[in-house]
């Protein structure tokens, strides 16, 4: 099943592919159908393979911390009318589908994705979740974070965890909730909110302008944004969140006001500036990570949060075309997502491998994929994925045919093919 997902799938051919070694393609498809619709195949058992991979990779690829990136992605199925358990989505373009929530382990050494350890798929009858053995009722997206964090922390992974979340998680009530959990560390991109600094409550944007006037920003690294060379500038100040938090329940019209104690946090303000000093992007990052982790590292960790978007992209149009899968239930899609994620882990391992032949292996797979790479980009994950499938086909062919047999068959299939100039040396 994992090998069948080691490929970049076309939208018109997004079904389960039979690996070349299978005796009959139809039998393989039937076996996959039974597997994905078998209620005895639990999501927890499938996810355990990912957790084991993440634990092993974290021990080798992390230095001091293990980053856990949390995010959501909508799986859009406009015309899949046989999927009767779809739910309404916020997208105007495609109104129905499923909502995927993932927790992805990322290395603190170089930002390499390691393995997704939690997958939750919201459908009409509830949430199909790898951390629970049953279909459960959904919580709000933000309320889903605390049990997910608790589950990952309970895995006893080999490094202290730092949870990285985008601005969707900017909630005072949740900051306070997470801060009561012993040892829980987080970095969240905040909106332009009010906080207390030096005894005065002000918005982050006003504080940023004040710090710019005081010339306290420092340049920490060169970055690329939209293909343009730029520079990242950083400043850090301590702030205190004093205002009450709110929990919104749009469907019920309930807006609950939650008063809590003052919460001191580190505010890291990151600006991306061009060569002329123009500001191209601004991040307000709130964190309770210890001070020995400097502000520049915090900003870099948040930058690596975008890797989960590349994971979703690999599952979608850049790789496996999940939004064209023909399985008719969320349960089957949830199982297949975990299998597909194992294929992603295989590609990620090769991408960061330091084996003496790893670089040559990556070049070989890109060549097999037929993909064109940008200048100074030796490979991409979709190219490695596409090359993997061709490699599997080659390995199977060598099991059944000699090199002379393959050349003879090529002469029949491609009669006008020009033989390579070194053909005699390959025999």
Distance of CA 150 to the CA centre of its chain: 19
DSSP classification of residue 136: B
Beta strands in 228-374 (DSSP E): 228-241, 245-249, 254-258, 263-273, 279-287
CA distance 380 to 151: 32
CA distance 34 to 91: 32
In the predicted structure, residue 269 carries a pLDDT above the cut 90: yes
- Burial 286-310, CB ≥16 within 10 A → b, else e: bbbbeeebebbbbbbbbbbbebbeb
CA distance 140 to 123: 13
CA 116-118-123 angle, to 5 degrees, is: 120
pLDDT at 426: 40
CA distance 427 to 420: 12
pLDDT at 376: 82
DSSP classification of residue 139: -
Average model confidence (pLDDT) across the chain: 89
How many C-beta neighbours within 10 Å does residue 173 have?
18
Query: Which range (34-48, 160-174, 294-308, 409-423) has the least confidence?
Result: 409-423
DSSP classification of residue 159: S
Query: Which range (7-21, 111-125, 238-252) has the least confidence?
Result: 7-21
DSSP classification of residue 202: E
Short-list 158, 133, 187, 151, CA closest to 63: 158
* Model confidence pLDDT, tens digit, residues 100-128: 999 999 999 999 999 999 999 999 999 99
Q: Look at residue 215 and give its three-state secondary structure.
A: coil
Q: Which pair of structure tokens corresponds to residue 187?
A: 């970095």
Contact 69, 41 (CB under 8 A): no
Q: Phi/psi of residue 399, each to 5°? A: -75, -25
CA distance 331 to 334: 5
CA distance 423 to 404: 11
In the predicted structure, residue 142 carries a pLDDT above the cut 70: yes
- Asked whether the CA dihedral 228, 309, 106, 3 is positive or negative, the reply is negative
pLDDT at 249: 63
Q: Which H/E stretch holds residue 115?
A: strand 113-123
Q: Which H/E stretch holds residue 349?
A: helix 330-352
State how beta strands 185-190 and 161-165 pair: parallel
CA distance 364 to 367: 5
pLDDT-above-70 percentage for the chain: 89
In the predicted structure, residue 177 carries a pLDDT above the cut 70: yes
Distance of CA 12 to the CA centre of its chain: 24
Contact 73, 116 (CB under 8 A): no
Q: Which H/E stretch holds residue 46?
A: helix 43-61
* Model confidence pLDDT, tens digit, residues 283-306: 999 999 999 999 999 999 999 999
Determine the straight-line distance between the first and last CA of the chain, rounded to whole angstroms: 34
Q: Phi/psi of residue 91, each to 5°? A: -70, 135
């Amino acid at each position: 099943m994992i090998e069948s997902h080691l490929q970049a799938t076309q939208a018109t051919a997004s079904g389960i592919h039979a690996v070349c070694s299978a005796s009959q393609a139809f039998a393989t498809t039937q076996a996959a159908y039974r597997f994905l619709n078998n209620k005895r195949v639990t999501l927890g058992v499938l996810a355990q393979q990912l957790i084991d991979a993440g634990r092993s990779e974290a021990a080798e690829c992390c230095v001091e911390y293990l980053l856990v990136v949390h995010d959501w992605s909508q799986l859009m199925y406009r015309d899949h009318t046989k999927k009767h358990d779809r739910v309404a989505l916020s997208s105007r373009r495609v109104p129905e589908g499923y909502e995927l929530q993932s927790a992805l382990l990322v290395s603190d050494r170089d930002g390499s994705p390691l393995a997704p350890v939690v997958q939750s798929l919201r459908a009409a009858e509830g949430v199909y979740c790898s951390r629970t053995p049953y279909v459960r009722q959904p919580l709000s997206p933000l309320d889903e974070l605390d049990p997910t964090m608790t589950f990952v922390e309970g895995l006893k992974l080999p490094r202290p965890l730092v949870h990285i979340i985008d601005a969707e998680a900017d909630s005072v009530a949740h900051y306070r909730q997470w801060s009561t959990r012993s040892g829980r560390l987080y970095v969240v991109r905040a909106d332009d909110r009010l906080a207390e600094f030096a005894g005065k409550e002000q918005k982050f944007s006003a504080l940023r302008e004040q710090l710019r006037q005081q010339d306290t920003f420092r340049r920490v690294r060169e970055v690329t944004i939209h293909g343009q060379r730029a520079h990242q500038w950083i400043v850090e100040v301590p702030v205190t969140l004093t205002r009450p938090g709110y929990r919104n329940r749009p469907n019920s019209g309930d807006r609950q006001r939650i008063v809590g104690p003052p919460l001191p946090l580190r505010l890291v303000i990151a600006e991306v500036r061009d060569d002329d000093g123009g500001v191209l992007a601004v991040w307000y990052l709130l964190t309770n990570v210890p001070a020995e982790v400097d502000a520049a590292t915090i900003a870099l960790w948040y930058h690596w949060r975008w890797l989960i978007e590349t994971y979703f992209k690999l599952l979608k149009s850049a790789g496996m075309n999940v939004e064209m899968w023909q399985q008719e239930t969320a349960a089957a899609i949830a199982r297949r997502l975990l299998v597909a994620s194992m294929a992603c882990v295989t590609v990620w391992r090769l991408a960061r491998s330091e084996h003496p032949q790893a670089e040559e292996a990556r070049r070989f797979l890109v060549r097999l994929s037929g993909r064109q790479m940008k200048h100074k980009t030796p490979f991409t994950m979709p190219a490695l994925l596409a090359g993997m499938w061709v490699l599997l086909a080659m390995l199977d062919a060598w099991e059944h045919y000699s090199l002379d047999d393959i050349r003879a068959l090529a002469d029949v299939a491609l009669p006008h093919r020009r033989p390579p100039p070194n053909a005699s040396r390959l025999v």
